[in-house]
Amino acid sequence: MKTSSPGKILLGFVLVFGFCLSGNAQLLKKLGKRAERAAERTIERRVDKETSEKTDQALDSILEPGSKGKKQAPGNTPPNQGGQNDQGNQTGGSPNSNSPASGPKTIEVYSKFDYVPGDKQLFFDDFGNDFIGDFPSKWNTNAGGEIVTLGDSPQKWLELKSGFNIYYIPNVPQLPEEYTIEFDLAAVGLDRKTSSTAKVAITLSNDDAFKPGSNNAYAEIPFCQYAAIGVTVQNNINGKREIRSTVKADLRDVVLENPHISIAVNKQRFRLWVNEVKYIDVPRLVAPGAVIHTVKFLANGFADGKEKVFISNLKVAEGGVDLRRKLIAEGKISTNGILFDTGSANIKPESMGIIRQIYQVMQQDGSINLKIVGHTDSDGGDANNMALSKKRAASVKNALVSVYGVNGNRLTVDGKGETEPVADNNSPDGKAQNRRVEFIRQ
């Protein structure tokens, strides 16, 4: 059998390779600018991916020391488990407690999440004290509904009956000028035929019964499966519609995965997030000076008996102000929104919205230096609480430095333990207020 020498093989390979290079060069030349732009986009995507991975690794080292890169899904806690005091005792419900909506989320996502929750709880309901099959005791409706569970999860949900004028109204007190709303949604029976009118609407209204109200702000979450419908927002001011618009969005897959909805109202401004993506930001949606009595939910357009939609973990809290403006104007802010693992200084991922705002202030004004001060409640020993408060302040500094690139020389830390309470340590609400982080301009 005749064989080729290694030299001939190599020569042949070089000729073929050279021919390929020559051919590719000619092809690229023909494609011209289109090929260059495509190549640039490919490079940009790879750089973004590598940057995100490095950011994620840095966040993991801060938020979950010793996890060796494993990401913890926030919110996967037992039913009724909410904010914990510094010794692990429960102090109320959590909007993500054991919810199917709390799927795995990366720390990287939360580092870009700019939602800031209110820190004074006004209303919370995960239906933990209600029986399956009953209508929840802290809600009202002009139709019907019942508490159910979905699959093997013990999480309780309220089924919202579909109908144009069917309202579900939680017993929320009169709302202040600055507040936030969070809740989880779930749906079953959706398919490619699910109507373009299938939606869940949230209305903030001056009417405390079953009408839209003369002053209201209104948003719709679409559940249609055969087309991307978008998120709609509208209002009425003194009985006259001023705004109605639909923001382009494809939520067809999102609504199948039990989304978490976050809303922030700052006087007239209305913002809405689905999971960690902000879709609505209207500066003058809420009627100026209007007294908002109620939060109302309405489901419409779902096929009767086949498609069902549910709500759970509703939390309404006072606050949620833009901390950036407050820090610049007053030189000091105190927040209960930076959360830590029980008895430790590990920052919970959902706290990154607040830390991100602090970073934005320092990025905007290079002359600002901050002192970060940690505070605890009175549970546990004085010495342990003092040490814990200092470690927590240091963790916040570490996040600003390692995640957002703030110069560490611009930050100092301190801890006051339980020595400077702002509320009564004998109540769960008071303890929650005392567990806080302060940022003081130096």
Task: Indicate the range of 83-92, 135-144, 206-215, 277-286 predicted with least confidence.
Answer: 83-92
What does the pLDDT read at residue 71?
A: 36
DSSP string across 154-204:
--EEEEEPB-TT--EEE-PPPP-SEEEEEEEEEEES--TT--TT-EEEEEE
> CATH assignment of 117-319, given 1.10.150.120, 1.10.1530.10, 2.60.120.200, 2.60.40.1180?
2.60.120.200
State mean pLDDT over 167-183: 93
What does the pLDDT read at residue 321?
A: 67
pLDDT tens digit sequence for 299-333 = 999 998 899 999 999 989 888 667 888 888 899 99
Can you tell me the distance from the alpha carbon of 396 to that of 374, in angstroms, rounded to the nearest whole number?
A: 9
Confidence band of 1 (pLDDT split at 50, 70, 90): very low
Most confident of 7-11, 23-27, 106-110, 225-229: 225-229
Q: Where along the chain do the CATH 2.60.120.200 domains lie?
A: 117-319
What does the pLDDT read at residue 430?
A: 72
What does the pLDDT read at residue 349?
A: 74
Confidence band of 358 (pLDDT split at 50, 70, 90): very high
Q: Where along the chain do the CATH 3.30.1330.60 domains lie?
A: 323-441
Q: At what angle do helices 323-330 and 352-364 cross, to 10 degrees?
A: 50
Range list of H helices, 286-427 = 323-330, 352-364, 382-402
What does the pLDDT read at residue 110?
A: 61
Angle at 306 between CA 304 and CA 307, to 5 degrees: 85
What does the pLDDT read at residue 428?
A: 57
350 φ, ψ to 5°?
-70, -5
> CATH assignment of 323-441, given 1.10.3720.10, 3.90.480.20, 3.40.1160.10, 3.30.1330.60?
3.30.1330.60
Percent of the chain with pLDDT over 90: 52
Instruction: Please answer whether residues 298 and 200 qualify as being in contact, where contact means their C-beta atoms are separated by less than 8 angstroms.
Output: yes
Percent of the chain with pLDDT over 70: 73
Look at residue 70 and tell me whether its pLDDT is greater than 80: no
Q: Average pLDDT of the chain? A: 79
Task: Indicate the range of 102-116, 140-154, 187-201 predicted with least confidence.
Answer: 102-116
Instruction: Please answer whether residues 184 and 258 qualify as being in contact, where contact means their C-beta atoms are separated by less than 8 angstroms.
Output: yes
Look at residue 163 and tell me whether its pLDDT is greater than 80: yes
Look at residue 180 and tell me whether its pLDDT is greater than 70: yes
